[in-house]
Amino acid sequence: MLDRHGKVGILINNAGLSIGDQRAEMLSESAMGAMLSVNLKGTVKCVRAPAPAMAKNGGGVITNTASILAGSPLPVAAAYAASEAGVIAFTQAWSRELGPSGMRVNVIAPGFIETLMNRSPPPRLAQTLVARAPRGAWAGHRKSRLCTSFPPPARRPSSMGR
């Protein structure tokens, strides 16, 4: 990426994976490993790649996407919630580590966004998610783009971590 474009000023990390029923007796090692690999390790790899060049060029903005479940997990999504909580922890640490070099590292944790991954949840889970949603409904993927296009905290030079 750096060889091709020469400079990176903005990174928006927006990938996530949730697999199946994650209750203690149902969670498989392979499902947990896949979620940790995509959600947590993927975020680390994506930040680690351009961060040195961004710092060398005087700074930049990194926005990571986590999930509202990181702070309010559901039993059927325990591993997903744990992996997303890790994204928040890394982001907060990176904001302190990379801030002195002119970088802003923030995380957004949107509510429930309708995606291909979660389009047809079991009815009981869907009811729980809707009940937790601030407006009593899931946001469509088009509305979620507004969060990542210009998240308000990322616009403030002094914002760090969240």
Three-class secondary structure of residue 90 per DSSP:
helix
Output the domain CATH number for residue 134. Answer: 3.40.50.720
- Estimate to the nearest angstrom the gap between the alpha carbon of 157 and the chain centroid: 21
Whether pTM exceeds 0.85: no
Number of domains in the chain: 1
- When pLDDT is cut at 50, 70 and 90, the band that residue 105 belongs to is very high
Domain of residue 89, residue span: 2-155
Catalytic residues: 80
- When pLDDT is cut at 50, 70 and 90, the band that residue 69 belongs to is confident
Residues 54 and 8 sit within 8 Å (Cβ to Cβ): yes
Asked if the structure places residue 162 within a domain, the reply is: no
